[in-house]
Amino acid sequence: MIHHLGDQNSLLHSFIAEIRDEQIQVDPLRFRRNLERVGEIFAYEISKELAYADKEVKTPLGTAEVQMLTDEIVLGTILRAGLPIHQGLLNYFDRAENAFISAYRVYEKDGTFNIRFEHISGPRIDDKVVILSDPMLATGASAVLAYEALLGKGKPKHVHLACIIASKEGIENVRRKLPIHKTSIWVGAIDDELTSKAYIVPGLGDAGDLAFGSKSDD
């Protein structure tokens, strides 16, 4: 199931426009905050698909019937570019448990690359709802790898994959590789192309570098 949030008019478009805009991107604080704001929107939209139970709360004037989230949530993300969107999700799912996956691209001389998985730090996920976020879904390889790493921690009730900008190829790859009935894909925008180094076009550039600065491979 694909939820393309960019199909409807909402403030999401303004945040994604700022994230993409090379003149606004030069402010890393604003870039991170915009990724976080998109994470907050994803949290609200995904919350509509979750399980709730009735409860009573006492107000100063009486008793109110309220609905409380009953699903147990695990938020997972891939270091380091995923941290701001993860924070946005955590702002709303404030009681969620958290999983961090360390993985990175290793380029060969010919420009091809493999994703190298290093470590996952997180709780058991049996019967819980996992929300895995990655700002950019390019080839889909790191999302699939992160998903598989999470499955080493148990059998989730459902997995929501949330990506701000996705390529068509990335969506096709995750659709082929993830189990359809237990996975939902949430995207803010879908772009047509990938460069030879698997960057999304027009995309936004390198989300990790824009949020946290460039890194050296030494």
Only one residue has tokens 């993300």, namely 77
CB of 112 to ligand URA, least distance (A): 15
CB of 208 to ligand URA, least distance (A): 6
CB of 108 to ligand URA, least distance (A): 17
Q: Is 81 in the site for ligand URA (CB under 6 A)?
A: yes
> What amino acid is encoded at 168 in this protein?
K
In the complex with ligand URA, the residue whose CB is nearer, 84 or 156, is 84
Please give the C-alpha separations between residue 209 and each of 82, 103, 146, 204, in angstroms, as whole numbers. Answer: 12, 15, 20, 11
> What amino acid is encoded at 152 in this protein?
G
In the complex with ligand URA, the residue whose CB is nearer, 40 or 206, is 206
CB of 98 to ligand URA, least distance (A): 21
Taking CB under 6 A as the criterion, the residue among 89, 132, 136, 174 binding ligand URA is 136
Q: Is 104 in the site for ligand URA (CB under 6 A)?
A: no
String marking each residue 188-217 x if it binds ligand URA according to CB under 6 A: -----------xx--x--xxx---------
In the complex with ligand URA, the residue whose CB is nearer, 125 or 190, is 190
Only one residue has tokens 């991107």, namely 25
CB of 24 to ligand URA, least distance (A): 16
For the stretch 178-185, contacts whose Cβ atoms lie closer than 8 Å and that sit 24 or more positions apart, written own/partner, are 178/144, 178/147, 180/1, 182/156, 182/157, 182/158, 183/1, 183/147, 183/158, 183/159, 184/1, 184/2, 184/3, 184/46, 184/49, 184/158, 184/159, 184/160, 185/1, 185/2, 185/3, 185/160, 185/161
Taking CB under 6 A as the criterion, the residue among 138, 162, 178, 189 binding ligand URA is 138
Residues at the site binding ligand URA, with contacts judged by CB under 6 A: 81, 136, 138, 199-200, 203, 206-208
